[in-house]
Amino acid sequence: QSLTTMAEAQNKRNPALAWIGGIFLGALFAASIFWWLTRSSSAPAAMHFSAVTSFAGVQAQPALSPDGHSVAFVSNRDGSYNIYVGLVRGGELVQVTHGSAMKSHPSWSPDGSTLAYAQLNDSGIMDVWAVSALGGSPRKLLLGANDPTWTPDGRSLVYLNMTDGALWTSGVAGDNAHLL
């Protein structure tokens, strides 16, 4: 009688094992389909390159505008290191800064209207300036500062203080400067 009871118990377990096995195989099949679909749809898109500049000389320190349509960069195209803005897809360049003092590290404001940059002063130290992204009259913001970067909200600048080598922040007019 014990052999009969064991056979009955084994027959009762087999349907449960069959269900569990079926669920496992179904999950494995679904995971395989999911993997195949995501693998084929995540193939990298073809990259397209186009020249923004095509003149001799240095073109360096590119900064892409927030909308991705323009790029600001430093060039010695006119014999001095100034900042230019060009469309990513090509076209006419706009010279944003002028003069013989070396400019560097352009940085776009989050709304794309203004560029902050560093400019070498007569003492050989960098200062931070700002100018409209379309050009115009630049204004000095910070003395003894370099590598300006806008905060995402557009209310502050983060920069390297040339006096102590530390990172500082200030308002966009150069006000309320303090060590980070």
Residue 135 has pLDDT above 60, yes or no: yes
Mean pLDDT of 52-72: 89
Mean pLDDT of 22-40: 69
**Percentage of residues of the chain with pLDDT beyond 70:** 78
Residue 7 has pLDDT above 70, yes or no: no
**Percentage of residues of the chain with pLDDT beyond 90:** 61
Say what the pLDDT of residue 12 is: 58
For 63-81, how does the pLDDT look when each residue is reduced to its tens digit (9 = 90+)?
A: 999 999 999 999 998 899 9
Neighbours of 129 (CB within 10 A): 22
Residue 91 pLDDT grade (very low, low, confident, very high; cuts 50, 70, 90): confident
CB 159 within 8 A of CB 150: no
Residue 97 has pLDDT above 90, yes or no: yes
The DSSP result for 7-64, as a single string, is: HHHHHHHHHHHHHHHHHHHHHHHHHHHHHHHHHHHTPPPPP----S--SSS-EEEEEE
Residue 24 has pLDDT above 70, yes or no: no
Mean pLDDT (the chain, rounded): 85
Mean pLDDT of 87-113: 94
Mean pLDDT of 119-146: 96
For 136-167, how does the pLDDT look when each residue is reduced to its tens digit (9 = 90+)?
A: 999 999 999 999 999 999 999 999 999 999 99
